[in-house]
Amino acid sequence: MSPFAQVEFLYLGTVVICGLILLFLFSEKSRRTKLSLLVSEKLLPKLIPEWSPFQQKIKFAFMLLCFAMIFIALSRPQWGTRQRTSEPTGIDILVAIDVSKSMLARDVRPNRLERVKLSMTNLMEKVRGDRLGLIAFSGSAFLQCPLTLDHQAFVKTLEDLTIGLIKNPGTNLSKPIDEASRSFSQDDSDRFLILLSDGEDLEGEGLKRAKQAAKEGIRIFTIGIGSKEGDRIPLDPIGQPAQNFLTNPQGETIVSKKDENSLRAIAEATGGVYFPLGPTGEGLERTLQRLQSIGQQKKRELLSSELPIERFFPFALLALILLFIEDLTPSGRKKLTRWGTTCLTLAIILLVGCLKRDNVKNAEDALRDGNPRKAALFYDAEINATRRMDKPIDPKLFLNAGLAHLEAGSLTEANQFLERSLDASVDDPNLQSIGLNALGNLFYRKTNLWLDEQNVGEARRSWEKALKFYDAAFQL
């Protein structure tokens, strides 16, 4: 393996230095020929005492060495390695919660649905750094919260779940699996779905769909809610005594029981695990711990690597020293005194390409430290610096700036940068997909903000925009 990351600069440097040597020899020969026509070579030291062929060669040698160091630095010499230790970036988890009427049963307190919501909220620390999404289902399913790092938005959506949110009655365990399959990105190698339900699959399609999901790479972890003995389904609000109960068309009171067999079969068909919820959410906690151990191990395997150590700096420093020495070396011709300034300017221009962009590195460090606002400022600074140099701006810079602003909660700035990333990455479907999905998340957050202000019209418009961007990202 070559010790140079960009060996092409060595070849270019060889050509340039050989060209300079030939040019120097030709100019020296031409100068001597012209001088010999005017005066004898023996008289030159007397007529031009400050002129010294030896000093000219010394200055030229310093200049050649300087150029050699510049091109060596540009070729990025590398030797030795260092271990890169990166924090896992988290995993993607979709949480599907049953909102059918059977979740009103009070065999767990205060009722099945509220117990699930409380357990999930209390365990948010377990999923720090992971993207979460929320699906509500009964006879059909709907993505309530797309995959996002904004856990506050997830919790708010979770708290808003109510019985009857999904109009189709009953429980069809195949529907949340369908919705999860559509919601996961096609690039996700690990797809995790947590399905929380009492397990009464009235349509009987859950296991069949789970087997298909296994082929798609989706692993389903199921959580059983309720008791095996079951309980009646009260229609009275929480906090009031249960006096009115759900009945079937024959007028008989319905008793809802937890069906562990169907939930366990769905989990095992996809390589997942089944746990009962438990009185305080122990089953959900064990599931999240299992997912963390799976996901973090995979991320560490992907992110841990040995990186070569860049060694260009000593050569760059030596080039600058040689420039100063060349400039300070006495010369008999005033034109040659300009070489120092010219070479110094050229060296600075060339060496800029060797240096890693400090702003980008600082932004990456800030994101690892959990400071997206600071990262956004560094990305902004890099974009402005690139613009001042009249260079084309990498679409990834716009995208990263937009994502950092979005995570920091600066929605207006995030919108601007994400729109620019779309304009600049027309030929890159991957960047387009990420940008469109981020804009969907942005307008989803705006929807929640408008709802907080009870502005239903603006909330509806923001939600329609979010769906539009999600659909466009899905099409890519």
pTM: 0.51
The CATH homologous superfamily for domain 92-303 is von Willebrand factor, type A domain (3.40.50.410)
Give the angle subtended at the CA of 259 by the CAs of 202 and 108, to the nearest 5°: 110
Give the angle subtended at the CA of 257 by the CAs of 167 and 240, to the nearest 5°: 70
Distance of CA 26 to the CA centre of its chain: 56
Q: Give the separation between CA 219 and CA 361, rounded to whole angstroms.
A: 35
Smallest CA-to-CA distance from 438 within 472, 469, 395 is with 469
- Amino acid of residue 301: E
- pLDDT tens digits, the chain, 476 residues: what are they? 568 888 898 999 899 999 999 998 888 788 777 766 666 666 666 655 556 677 778 888 988 999 999 999 898 888 776 655 444 456 889 999 999 999 999 999 899 999 999 999 999 888 877 889 999 999 999 999 998 888 888 999 999 999 988 888 889 999 999 999 998 866 556 789 999 999 888 777 899 999 999 999 999 999 999 998 899 999 998 888 888 999 988 889 999 999 999 999 999 999 999 999 988 889 999 999 998 887 665 554 444 445 677 888 888 888 888 888 887 776 554 444 454 555 555 555 555 444 445 678 888 888 888 889 888 888 888 888 788 777 788 889 999 999 999 998 889 889 989 999 988 887 888 888 899 999 999 999 888 888 877 888 888 888 988 888 988 887 77
Please give the CATH topology (third level) of the domain spanning 357-475. 1.25.40
Task: Return the structure tokens found at 131.
Answer: 């993207």
Delimit the CATH 1.25.40.10 region(s) of the chain: 357-475
Task: Return the structure tokens found at 459.
Answer: 């909330």
Long-range contacts (CB closer than 8 Å, 24 or more residues apart) made by 148-152: 148/441, 148/444, 149/90, 149/407, 150/407, 150/441, 150/445, 151/124, 151/127
H-run or E-run covering 401: helix 395-408
Q: Give the separation between CA 172 and CA 392, rounded to whole angstroms.
A: 52
Rg (CA), the chain: 34
Task: Return the structure tokens found at 404.
Answer: 């950092």
Residue count (the chain)? 476
Q: Tokens 């999930």 appear where? A: 120
Task: Return the structure tokens found at 315.
Answer: 């050569």
Q: Give the separation between CA 20 and CA 26, rounded to whole angstroms.
A: 10
Delimit the CATH 3.40.50.410 region(s) of the chain: 92-303
Please measure the distance between the N-terminal and C-terminal CA atoms of the chain and give it in whole angstroms. Answer: 38
DSSP bridge pairs for 83:
306
Instruction: Report CA-CA distances (Å) from 235 to 161, 169, 171, 239, 290.
Output: 17, 15, 18, 12, 36
